Amino acid sequence: MKKLEQEFIEQFGEEGERALYFAPGRVNLIGEHTDYNGGHVFPCALSVGTYAVARKREDQKVRFYSMNFPSHGIIESSLDSLIYSDEDDWANYPKGVIALFQQDYAIPQGVDIAYYGNIPNGAGLSSSASIELATAVVLRDLFHLSIEMVEMVKLSQKAENEFVGVNCGIMDQFAIGMGKKDHAVLLNCDTLTYKQTPIRLEDHALIIANTNKRRGLADSKYNERRMQCEEALKALQEELDVTSLGDVTEEQFEAYKHLIIDAETRKRARHAVYENRRTMKAVNFLNEGDVEAFGKLMNESHVSLRDDYEVTGNELDAMVEASWKEGAVGSRMTGAGFGGCTISIVEKDNVEAFIKNVGVSYKHQTGLEGDFYVVEIGDGAHRVVEGI
């Protein structure tokens, strides 16, 4: 944090009052590819994330610097000309958030913001949504905006959809905005009603394993899955009175699936329907203290993502299979898929051996080195210190 403050001073100068903000990354425990289908998700905020030191300016300039991308230097724009530009690379995220805020709230002056993120890069733990929410809390705080966190979450998602052009659902921004230490958020993505659920795993730990396989082509395949689900919904709506796949029960799906003519599209919809119901059941098990039953549903989630939704790939499958063999109570891919991370529940006594053996087996299968982290569930986006 000291380093980030020093870097801020080096890049932007010492004068004026600064404050420090933080927004976490996120990991989803279960409920994958259900958010844009109006279903449930169950993510939590991580203790790693994005730090931001920020200061108001007297003029209309907005200037960004990231310690993670020093070669980009300071990226500068102005409040009256915030448009997407390839050249601005990572800074399109904060630019987008400011542009979207500007439409509904008065942002009277520019800002200088320096960022530092400790989320493993490209791992699918939502470093982009983390930058968005860090920027949102900066704006709320510096300009004393009267805006609820849920509204900031929605604006950040809109910035990613409309400004950056990535068609994501609401899960990442919601988990990062509304996360709470030692809790996961059960969110109904249709109504945005949510419940903070304590994660008490007693003698178990949550382990993230990064496959270190970059998510190539992920965006186009993500969009394709979204379109297939929309198509399937339309077909079901011919006879069913539902507004999303999240509305459909397993029984309804089995009774009406013949309406979805294309076999692949039918599989995609089956995942969305069953995964949503699985998520609701899994959270009930967890509330009853049945970690084993929760873990089993995590495993089923992975199988469904592998066979029906087809978003896993060799690396994620190899990591999950090695985790199952090493005695994980539950293990699955997490996030969009096509690379990135898995999440596993492992007995605390077995964590060291698990990491070692899964690492060896994963390397043997794929030739890649995996990285492992014991999850600490942290708080959502907030100001850390003012007046620095």
- Which residues are catalytic, by number? 172
Residues near ligand GLA (CB under 6 A): 32-33, 35-36, 168-169, 171-172, 335-336
What is the nearest approach in angstroms of ligand GLA to the Cβ of residue 142? 27
Q: Which is nearer to ligand GLA, 127 or 344 (CB)?
A: 127
What is the nearest approach in angstroms of ligand GLA to the Cβ of residue 125? 9
Cα Rg, the chain, nearest whole Å:
21
Q: Are 160 and 166 in contact (CB under 8 A)?
A: yes
What is the nearest approach in angstroms of ligand GLA to the Cβ of residue 170? 7
Give pairs for 257-262: CB < 8 Å, separation 24+: 259/235, 260/231, 260/232, 260/235, 260/236, 261/235, 262/231
- Three-state DSSP at 290 gives coil
Q: Are 23 and 134 in contact (CB under 8 A)?
A: yes
What is the nearest approach in angstroms of ligand GLA to the Cβ of residue 273? 15
What is the nearest approach in angstroms of ligand GLA to the Cβ of residue 93? 13
What is the nearest approach in angstroms of ligand GLA to the Cβ of residue 34? 7
- Secondary structure tally for the chain: helices H, strands E: 11, 13
Q: What is the DSSP letter of 377?
A: B
Please give the Cα distance from 37 to 41 (Å, whole number).
11
Which residues 6+ apart lie within 8 Å of 284 measured at CB?
Answer: none
Helix (H) or strand (E) holding 127: helix 127-142
Q: Which is nearer to ligand GLA, 187 or 201 (CB)?
A: 187
For residues 177-189, one letter each, b for 16 or more C-beta atoms within 10 angstroms of the residue's C-beta and e for the rest, the string is: bbbbbebbbbbbb
Please give the Cα distance from 156 to 167 (Å, whole number).
12
Residue with tokens 């009267």: 146
Q: Which is nearer to ligand GLA, 5 or 310 (CB)?
A: 310
